[in-house]
Structure 1
Amino acid sequence: MNTQTLPAAGNVRFRNFLRSQMRNIAPFVTLIALVVFFAVASPSFLTVDNLGNILTTMSVTGIMAVGLTFVILCAEIDLSFAAIANATGIAVAYFTAQEAYVNVANVPLSGGMAIVLALIGCLVLGFVNAIGMTKVGIPSFIMTLAMMQIGAGICALLVRGQILYAVPPQVSYLGTESIGGVPVIVLVLALFLLVGHLVLTYTRFGRYVYMVGGNREAAEFSGVNVKLILGAVMVISAFCAGTSGMLGVAYFGSAQQDEFNGFLLDAISAVVVGGTSLFGGRGGIGNTIIGLCVLGVLNNGLDHVQIDSFLKILIRGLILLIALIINVYAQNLRAQQIQSTE
Structure 2
Amino acid sequence: MASSDSATRPADHQRPRGLAPFLRSQMRNIAPFLTLILLSGFFAIASPSFATLDNVGNILTQVSVTGIIAVGLTFVILCAEIDLSIASIANVTGIAVAYFTLQESYVNIANVPMPGWAAILLALALCALLGLVNALGLTVIGIPSFIMTLAMMQIAAGVSALLVRGQIAYKVPPLITTLGSGSVSGIPWIVIVAAVMLLGGHLVLTYTRFGRYVYMVGGNREAAEFAGLNVKLILGAVMVISAVCSGIGGMLGVAHFGSAQQNEFDTYLLDSIAAVVVGGTSLFGGRGGIGNTIVGLFVLGVLNNGLDHVNIDSFLKILIRGLILLAALIINVYAQRLREQAAD
Q: How would you bin the TM-score normalised by the shorter chain?
A: over 0.9
Structure 1 position 12, deviation (Å): 6.2
Which residue does 1:163 correspond to in 2?
Answer: 168
One-letter amino acid of the structure 1 residue matched with residue 98 of structure 2: A
Higher CA-based Rg:
1
Which residue does 1:104 correspond to in 2?
Answer: 107
One-letter amino acid of the structure 1 residue matched with residue 105 of structure 2: V
Name the CA distance, whole Å, in 2 between partners of 1:213 and 1:106.
51
Name the CA distance, whole Å, in 1 between partners of 2:254 and 2:302.
23
Structure 1 position 105, deviation (Å): 4.7
Which residue does 1:279 correspond to in 2?
Answer: 284
Structure 1 position 97, deviation (Å): 1.4
Which residue does 1:181 correspond to in 2?
Answer: 186
SS in 2 for 1:165: coil
Which residue does 2:59 correspond to in 1?
Answer: 54
One-letter amino acid of the structure 2 residue matched with residue 163 of structure 1: I
One-letter amino acid of the structure 1 residue matched with residue 307 of structure 2: L
Structure 1 position 102, deviation (Å): 2.8
User: What aligned pairs does 1:14-53 form with structure 2 within 5 A after superposition?
Assistant: 14-53=19-58
1:215 counterpart = 2:220: yes
Structure 1 position 147, deviation (Å): 0.2
1:142 counterpart = 2:113: no
1:256 counterpart = 2:280: no
User: What aligned pairs does 1:1-342 form with structure 2 within 5 A after superposition?
Assistant: 13-98=18-103, 101-106=104-109, 108=112, 109-339=114-344
Structure 1 position 48, deviation (Å): 1.1
State the TM-score, normalizing by the size of structure 2: 0.94
Name the CA distance, whole Å, in 1 between partners of 2:208 and 2:80.
19
SS in 2 for 1:103: coil
Structure 1 position 104, deviation (Å): 3.1
SS in 2 for 1:166: coil
Structure 2: any 5+ residue segments left out of the alignment?
1-15
Structure 1 position 103, deviation (Å): 3.4
Name the CA distance, whole Å, in 1 between partners of 2:324 and 2:158.
32
Structure 1 position 169, deviation (Å): 0.4
Structure 1 position 24, deviation (Å): 0.1
One-letter amino acid of the structure 1 residue matched with residue 175 of structure 2: Q
SS in 1 for 2:126: helix
Deviation track 1:229-273 (CA, whole Å, cap 9, x = no partner) reads 000000000000000000000000000000000100000000000
Q: 1:222 to 1:12 in 2, by over 3 A?
A: closer
Structure 1 position 92, deviation (Å): 0.3
Structure 1: any 5+ residue segments left out of the alignment?
1-10
Name the CA distance, whole Å, in 1 between partners of 2:314 and 2:252.
26
One-letter amino acid of the structure 2 residue matched with residue 72 of structure 1: I
Percent of paired sites with the same residue:
74
Structure 1 position 140, deviation (Å): 0.2
RMSD: 1.0
State the TM-score, normalizing by the size of structure 1: 0.94
Deviation track 1:95-136 (CA, whole Å, cap 9, x = no partner) reads 1111xx333354741111100000000000000000000000
